Structure 1
Amino acid sequence: VECDVERNIAYFDRDDRKNPETECLRVDLTNGGVTSLGRSLYGNRCIGVNSDHSKVILADGYTAGDVVLFYWQDGMKERKLLYGTPIAERGGKMVPPSGIDWCNFVEDDKGLLFVSSIFHDAGGLTYLGFDNPSKPAQVQIRGLKHSGVGELIGSKKIKDNLFVLIYNIDGASWVYMGAFTAGNPPSFKITKTLCGQGQLSDGVIQGVDWQVNKSAPTTAEFVLSFTKANMPSQLYLYPQDGKGSVTRLSEEKVLGIPQDYLSAGEDASYTTWDGLRVSARLYLPSPKLGYTGPRPLVEYVHGGPQGQERPDFTWFSMPLIQYLTLNGFAVFVPNVRGSTGYGMKYMKLVDRDWGGNDVKDHLEGLKHIEKDPRIDSKRRAVVGRSYGGFMTLTLASRFPNMWKAAVDMFGPYDLPKWASRTPPSWMPYIRLAVGDPEKDREMLLAHSPKTYLADLTSPLMIIQGKNDPRVPEPESAEIAADLRKRGVQVDYLVFEDEGHDVLRFKNRVTCYSKITEFFLKHLGS
């Protein structure tokens, strides 16, 4: 959903789970008027509008980062191609992914300023003039303060040529204010660093809003929502003139648990089997808790696979990670190939290779952690959800001697079957990003946990939503039944009121508790 709160206009993606096409709708919330901006097999997602909503930029996406732009304006019967090569016109040729997102109209609607990987693998600003849309121009950005590995992930227009830029650097947020200048070449000058330093460092921005100073329109007062691995989201006020300290406006707490009992995490990045750097974090129990000796290890695998685990207390995984450290576990969280946040090439390495080279990255990470004297790698477990559940089943079945226990949260285990039952609107993406259930059946079977489940020996917990449309509950029930017949201990937890996630608070409490109890039973603490 995209929403203009001042004009009460919102844009929705409509997927009825029956029609393979997705429809973009513009809704005037003041009178209920609905305008269809067309349908597409590949998204037709709204990623930019001009100030009066008469012009809209729509995007089709084939796999992650592979984006083609279309232009729509009031009075048009259908959208028209603006930039990129539609998949139907490629004739089997490889087209580099553009990574386009966050389109902003600039120069009195004469062009667009957007984030893309056209010139930078890690994302950069690009200007595209409507008078020559086949020739995008690289925007030179001056004044960045950060260092490290990461990407530009967002740009928001404040007013006229003033923008906010949002970077993700090794999982932590950096946010800047700056000014765009059209020219030859176009440029962007950073004027303020809003996040990434001082008390707003080593965490994740949840939101940023502003109020432009009417008497001095080149300045603005900012409010930011910011969280860390060991801190709930807090509100901060950034002064208009940039002078003085940032003011914290809220005091959100984890009730009953002092912040210094929680784990801030530390860098645990490593070089994997083919020389790639893999960003990772290690969360150890706080010294305040009094645990002694090497700690049993839990590896947490994020979903996606094109996602990222960040120091973000508001995300599903972080309360679980913290609860595990409170109970004496060390938690290793790698962002292996295919993760977002480290450039387009890195993210695309997992396309059509689920259960391939990504598995090798996990094994190399565990070898790296084995060298840490604070970790007892003889007591080791793995947990993940969705794709992370798939990887949990993969690691536990293909390398059974490595694990004392495993927890799979709604992970697909039979890739051909899972791909063939994908909702119609997901099928084009699945065929391109994972594999065709018919044409690529042999490859998918070779990468499926089901092929190796007979070798799984460690106790397994399976967590499943009864209403999951992606991994139907009967599939998880089938895994549990098959393994029990082979003598494997299986705990099976079904949430009757959940789908492909655990969203309800009471269910999350149960979920975190059951996982931790399971690991305490089989690994000790």
Structure 2
Amino acid sequence: MNYRIEALLSARLFLHPEVVGDRIYFISNISGHNSLYVMDHGGSVPEPLLPPNIVLQNPHLIGGASFAVLKDLRKILVMIDHDGDENYLPMMIPINGGFPEPAFNNFFENTRCHLGDVDVRKNLCLIVAESREEGMLRTYLCHLDSNEVEEIYASPYGGYPAAISEDASRIVLVEGYLVGDTVTYLWERGKEIKRLYGKPLEDREEGEEVPLIAFGGGFFTEDGKGLVFANAIFQDTYGLGYLAFDSPEEVVEVPFADLAHNGKGEFDGLERLENGRYLLEFNIDGVSWAYEAEYDDQQKVMRVLNVLVGKGHLSEGVLEAIKYDPESDTFALAFSTAVSPTQIYTIEGKDRDRIVQHTRESILGIPQALLSRGEDLSYTSFDGLRVSSRLYMPSPELGFEGKRPVVYYLHGGPQGQERPDFSWFSMPLIQFLTLQGFAVFVPNVRGSTGYGLSYTKHVDRDWGGQDRLDHVHAMNHVLSEDARL
């Protein structure tokens, strides 16, 4: 049978869902390009919220949130550029849709903005704005109800918000130089900026090597005396640490307890929820795991309570986005696998035991049984380094016999990662090749993301060196020894 690439490309995207009341807001390209929509809980005909001539960027690429529903203000804050120039600006539309108007009295004109944390209850948000007139990034605390904009930090290297206190009087900010090379500061209303951790670039000697911290997102502890944050201080694959504000250089490791996954990968995200609970995300051999956890402040441990993603129906795939709604105590998420386009789900119930699927997107004219789920084909490279890889064999349902010709697929970057994610452009191509009888080998050689900081930095000043030898080893000692190929 002749399978058309157009069939695989016809699968539409459903991205960044957010539950508000009995409605689900999301981004989709159902009109042919990305735009903002809303539908009823349980599914209904999607209602467009933006004019048809406005195109939204893929949330994977925007750097920050794409939109936020401001229920009390009856508005939606949307990040929109001009005809694809990627200069995103905060715009407002009515909650039921309409024509965008510049937010904050057009304060951010001539900048490129990234939307950080949004507190819809306090009507506050954080925005990092890149100047288009000078080499400077500024961080602002913005009041959504009054349009007041308050500058809190400015640096050529950025000041990306890592945590904000409950009353918004203190904000932790991170300057980043190279991958993992960070310095962290504390902004406190009415006081001077205080350095918390790391050595600023201007204080370093020429050629000085500094420890890579990779300071990431975190939260203020309940007593306000410390910060729990993501970092690479104790684990190369990232983890959590506790920093006391009165002795910030003395960071204590915060271990995870009761994780359910195995394999190689890295800690990928931390988000504060409600009632002392937290969302943890992991990327393990390219597939997503997400947990609901609680923090034990006495023992400095993050304990898992529930597995949200990684088992059952929501497994062996990639979590595009997950958003918690405290009002309904519900998680909304977009999830895809190698054989399924992105679907919108909600995880409901006190025990997180009810999964509701709200979309039924399928691939036009191609049964899922004919697609390849892929299998792990990780290998040990020439110098003993483990290289995570996947092999996509044609489905047995297709009836191909004998050894299969191999397409060797290299992801871009080089500091990127190929994952079993139908929403990314490469997976339809991989599936098209397997439908034609090819096997597709997809290695994430050294320099890839997803396996820890040092693994990613293997290609620093050596791109095309040892990473190339990983490919050579796979060709000569892995694929050549597989009797199916």
**TM-score by structure 1 length?**
0.66
Pairing 1:81–2:202 present: no
Match of 2:321 in 1: 207
Pairing 1:279–2:394 present: no
Match of 1:329 in 2: 438
Equivalences, count = 368
SS in structure 1 opposite 2:414?
coil
Pairing 1:363–2:363 present: no
Structure 1 residues 4-57: Cα deviation after superposition (integer angstroms, max 9, x where no partner): 151443333333466333332333333433333333232222222223333222
Pairing 1:225–2:334 present: yes
- 1:270, CA displacement in angstroms? 0.9
Aligned mate of 1:65, from 166, 180, 183: 180
SS in structure 2 opposite 1:232?
coil
Structure 1 residues 142-173: Cα deviation after superposition (integer angstroms, max 9, x where no partner): 11111111111111101242101111111111
User: Mind listing any 5+ residue stretches in structure 1 that lack a counterpart?
Assistant: 215-219, 376-525
Structure 1 residues 290-335: Cα deviation after superposition (integer angstroms, max 9, x where no partner): 3344333222222222221111111222222222323333221111
Distance 1:240 1:273, change over 3 A: same
Distance 1:20 1:244, change over 3 A: closer
- 1:101, CA displacement in angstroms? 0.8
- 1:109, CA displacement in angstroms? 2.8
Aligned mate of 2:282, from 162, 167, 177: 167
Tell me if the contact between 1:222 and 1:240 (Cα under 8 Å) persists in the aligned partners: no
Distance 1:332 1:68, change over 3 A: same
Match of 2:135 in 1: 20
Aligned mate of 2:454, from 330, 339, 345: 345
- 1:126, CA displacement in angstroms? 0.9
Q: In the alignment, residue 226 of structure 2 is paired with which amino acid?
A: G
Pairing 1:295–2:404 present: yes
- 1:245, CA displacement in angstroms? 4.8
Cα distance in 1 between the residues matched to 2:414 and 2:481: 27
Distance 1:108 1:263, change over 3 A: same
Cα distance in 2 between the residues matched to 1:275 and 1:286: 32
Aligned mate of 2:306, from 173, 183, 192: 192
Pairing 1:30–2:145 present: yes
Distance 1:360 1:20, change over 3 A: farther
SS in structure 1 opposite 2:247?
coil
Task: Map residues 390-405 of structure 1 onto 2, 5 A cutoff.
Answer: none
Pairing 1:259–2:373 present: no
- 1:66, CA displacement in angstroms? 1.5
Cα distance in 2 between the residues matched to 1:308 and 1:244: 31
Tell me if the contact between 1:106 and 1:160 (Cα under 8 Å) persists in the aligned partners: no
Cα distance in 1 between the residues matched to 2:241 and 2:416: 24
- 1:353, CA displacement in angstroms? 1.4
Match of 1:155 in 2: 270
Cα distance in 2 between the residues matched to 1:252 and 1:8: 35
More strand by share: 2
Cα distance in 2 between the residues matched to 1:294 and 1:9: 59
Aligned mate of 2:348, from 216, 239, 248: 239
Tell me if the contact between 2:306 and 2:352 (Cα under 8 Å) persists in the aligned partners: no
Cα distance in 2 between the residues matched to 1:49 and 1:187: 21
Cα distance in 2 between the residues matched to 1:256 and 1:125: 46
User: Mind listing any 5+ residue stretches in structure 2 that lack a counterpart?
Assistant: 1-114
Tell me if the contact between 1:176 and 1:195 (Cα under 8 Å) persists in the aligned partners: yes
SS in structure 2 opposite 1:361?
helix
Cα distance in 2 between the residues matched to 1:343 and 1:193: 22
- 1:233, CA displacement in angstroms? 1.5
Structure 1 residues 323-366: Cα deviation after superposition (integer angstroms, max 9, x where no partner): 23233332211111111211222122111211211111111122
Distance 1:13 1:293, change over 3 A: farther
- 1:204, CA displacement in angstroms? 1.2
SS in structure 2 opposite 1:227?
strand
Distance 1:294 1:32, change over 3 A: farther
SS in structure 1 opposite 2:174?
strand
Distance 1:182 1:278, change over 3 A: same
Cα distance in 1 between the residues matched to 2:421 and 2:355: 20
Aligned mate of 2:484, from 374, 377, 394: 374
Tell me if the contact between 1:4 and 1:10 (Cα under 8 Å) persists in the aligned partners: yes
Tell me if the contact between 1:176 and 1:194 (Cα under 8 Å) persists in the aligned partners: yes
Q: In the alignment, residue 354 of structure 1 is paired with which amino acid?
A: W
Distance 1:52 1:298, change over 3 A: farther
Cα distance in 1 between the residues matched to 2:142 and 2:201: 29
**Greater Cα offset, 129-138 or 24-33:** 24-33
Structure 1 residues 171-207: Cα deviation after superposition (integer angstroms, max 9, x where no partner): 1111111111222x41122111111111111111122
CA RMSD of superposed structures (Å): 2.2
Distance 1:26 1:317, change over 3 A: farther
Match of 1:90 in 2: 204
Q: In the alignment, residue 21 of structure 1 is paired with which amino acid?
A: M
Match of 1:444 in 2: none
Match of 1:431 in 2: none
Cα distance in 2 between the residues matched to 1:32 and 1:124: 37
- 1:95, CA displacement in angstroms? 1.6
SS in structure 2 opposite 1:370?
helix
Cα distance in 2 between the residues matched to 1:285 and 1:52: 55
SS in structure 2 opposite 1:200?
coil
Q: In the alignment, residue 373 of structure 1 is paired with which amino acid?
A: A
Distance 1:272 1:238, change over 3 A: same
Cα distance in 2 between the residues matched to 1:252 and 1:2: 30
Distance 1:177 1:36, change over 3 A: same
Match of 2:154 in 1: 39
More helix by share: 1
Distance 1:300 1:9, change over 3 A: farther
Cα distance in 1 between the residues matched to 2:371 and 2:144: 43
Tell me if the contact between 2:227 and 2:243 (Cα under 8 Å) persists in the aligned partners: yes
Cα distance in 1 between the residues matched to 2:438 and 2:131: 43
Cα distance in 2 between the residues matched to 1:58 and 1:108: 20
Match of 1:412 in 2: none
Tell me if the contact between 1:161 and 1:181 (Cα under 8 Å) persists in the aligned partners: no
- 1:256, CA displacement in angstroms? 2.3
Tell me if the contact between 2:258 and 2:303 (Cα under 8 Å) persists in the aligned partners: yes
Q: In the alignment, residue 102 of structure 1 is paired with which amino acid?
A: G
